[in-house]
């Protein structure tokens, strides 16, 4: 399978349009080459490409990815469909930008499909445009993306988007996907929203070649610290296991020495974005890296 990282930042991106924090200011000064789009991935087997999450940056992300260029037919696209890990706006706002009529199969959990009808009714909005076909997926049930490629959803958490607070709770609000290519044996796990390192997640990670995982925050109180708002939500309250600290995800990597780990969904508050900082050194020392926009993996 081939994999392109389309975006590696959390909601808002780096820099965020209305943020003058030190890290957003540094990114602005460095120029567009240093910017990170909002988290999304493209994955392909032998039968075309699938987007995993559709960020508000999707148009720029598709245009920046040579493999996603249309042709040779005038409206022929290599994109076959979309997989959603959750219903968060940074992962779904771009769906309306895919309304130009190409047939796409959109896969998401039943609660996420409901959120996209009731809370953020993009399914209703797009009903008259044609093209999108919606499919419910369930944890443990593989989705066939090509003869040799499957994606198996793993239930990761109960975190609902703020706009969906009135919808029922449930364990399928946040999914990871485990991609398995039976022709190469390659396995990739994609988990941009990881609330805790559960036994189910650990089992999915075991035996993977690459894991691209939630790197939103370095520490639990990062938002309060960075914004000065003492009441700001903690990383865990937002459904994001921090990277650092005694109970952070970085400590878990040593249990999987043959797996390559890449952090994505990086929030602009995360000190790991500073290539010269101690947090980045710690991450590198643990054998992990940051996902980079445009990065290509073949596995």
Applying the rule CB under 5 A, the residues between 238 and 297 that interact with Zn ion are: 268
Q: Are 42 and 145 in contact (CB under 8 A)?
A: no
172 binds, among Zn ion, Mn ion, ligand MLT, none (CB under 5 to 8 A by kind): none
CB-neighbour burial class of residue 3 (10 A; exposed 0-12, middle 13-18, buried 19+): buried
Q: 19 is in the binding site of which of Mn ion, ligand MLT, Zn ion, none (Cβ under 5 to 8 A by kind)?
A: Zn ion
Among 7, 11, 56, 239, binds Mn ion (CB under 5 A): 11
The contact set with ligand MLT (CB under 6 A) reads 10-11, 88-90, 193, 238-239
| Residue 166 Ramachandran class (φ > 0 left, ψ -120 to 50 alpha, else beta) | alpha
Q: How far is the CB of 71 from Mn ion (least distance, A)?
A: 33
Q: Check binding of 24 to Zn ion (CB under 5 A).
A: yes
Across 149-181, b (16+ Cβ under 10 Å) vs e yields bbbbbbbbbebbbeebeebeeeebbbbbbbbbb
**Tokens (6 digits) for 89:** 């706006």
* Least distance to ligand MLT, CB of residue 233, Å: 9
Q: How many CB atoms lie within 10 A of CB 215?
A: 32
Q: Footprint of Mn ion on residues 82-101 (CB under 5 A)? A: 88, 90
Q: Does 232 bind Zn ion (CB under 5 A)?
A: no
Q: How far is CA 224 from the centre of its chain?
A: 24
Residues listed for the chain:
299
Are residues 249 and 213 in contact, defined by beta-carbon separation less than 8 angstroms?
yes
Between 21 and 97, whose beta carbon lies closer to Zn ion?
21
Binding mask 35-74 for Mn ion (x = CB under 5 A): ----------------------------------------
Stretch that binds Zn ion, among 24-32, 78-86, 108-116, 149-157 (CB under 5 A): 24-32
CA distance 244 to 235: 11
Query: Beta-carbon neighbour count of residue 140 at 10 Å?
Result: 10
Residue nearest to ligand MLT (CB): 11
By CB under 5 A, name the one of 21, 89, 96, 136 that touches Zn ion.
Answer: 21
In the list Mn ion, Zn ion, ligand MLT, none, the entry touching 238 (Cβ below 5 to 8 angstroms by class) is ligand MLT
Distances (CA, A) of 100 to 130, 156, 212: 8, 32, 30
Q: How far is the CB of 11 from ligand MLT (least distance, A)?
A: 3
Q: Which does 89 bind (CB under 5 to 8 A by kind): ligand MLT, Zn ion, Mn ion, none?
A: ligand MLT
Burial class, 101, CB count within 10 angstroms (exposed 0-12 / middle 13-18 / buried 19+): exposed
The residues that touch Mn ion, with contacts defined as CB under 5 A, are 10-11, 88, 90
The residues that touch Zn ion, with contacts defined as CB under 5 A, are 19, 21, 24, 268
């Amino acid at each position: 399978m081939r994999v392109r990282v389309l975006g590696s930042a959390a909601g808002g991106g780096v820099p965020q349009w209305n943020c003058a924090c030190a890290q957003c200011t540094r990114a602005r000064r460095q120029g567009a080459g240093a910017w990170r789009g909002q988290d999304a991935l493209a994955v392909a087997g032998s039968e075309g490409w699938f987007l995993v999450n559709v960020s508000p940056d999707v148009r720029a992300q598709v245009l920046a990815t040579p493999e996603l260029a249309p042709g040779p037919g005038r409206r022929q696209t290599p994109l076959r469909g979309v997989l959603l890990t959750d219903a968060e706006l940074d992962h779904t706002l771009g769906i309306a930008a895919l309304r130009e009529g190409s047939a796409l199969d959109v896969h998401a959990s039943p609660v996420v499909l409901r959120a996209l009808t009731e809370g953020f009714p993009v399914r209703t909005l797009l009903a008259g445009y044609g093209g999108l076909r919606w499919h419910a997926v369930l944890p443990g049930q593989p989705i066939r993306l090509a003869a040799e490629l499957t994606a198996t959803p793993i239930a990761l958490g109960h975190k609902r988007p703020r706009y969906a607070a009135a919808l029922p709770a449930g364990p399928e609000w946040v999914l990871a996907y485990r991609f398995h290519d039976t022709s190469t044996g390659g396995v990739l796990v994609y988990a941009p929203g990881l609330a805790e390192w559960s036994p189910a997640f650990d089992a999915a990670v075991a035996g993977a070649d690459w894991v691209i995982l939630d790197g939103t925050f370095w520490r639990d109180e990062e938002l309060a610290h960075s914004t000065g708002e003492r009441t700001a939500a903690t990383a865990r309250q937002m459904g994001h296991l921090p990277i650092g600290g005694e109970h952070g995800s970085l400590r878990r990597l040593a249990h999987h020495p043959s797996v390559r780990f890449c952090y994505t969904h990086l929030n602009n508050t995360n000190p790991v974005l500073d290539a010269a900082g101690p947090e980045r050194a710690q991450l590198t020392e643990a054998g992990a890296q940051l996902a980079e926009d445009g990065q290509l993996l073949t596995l």
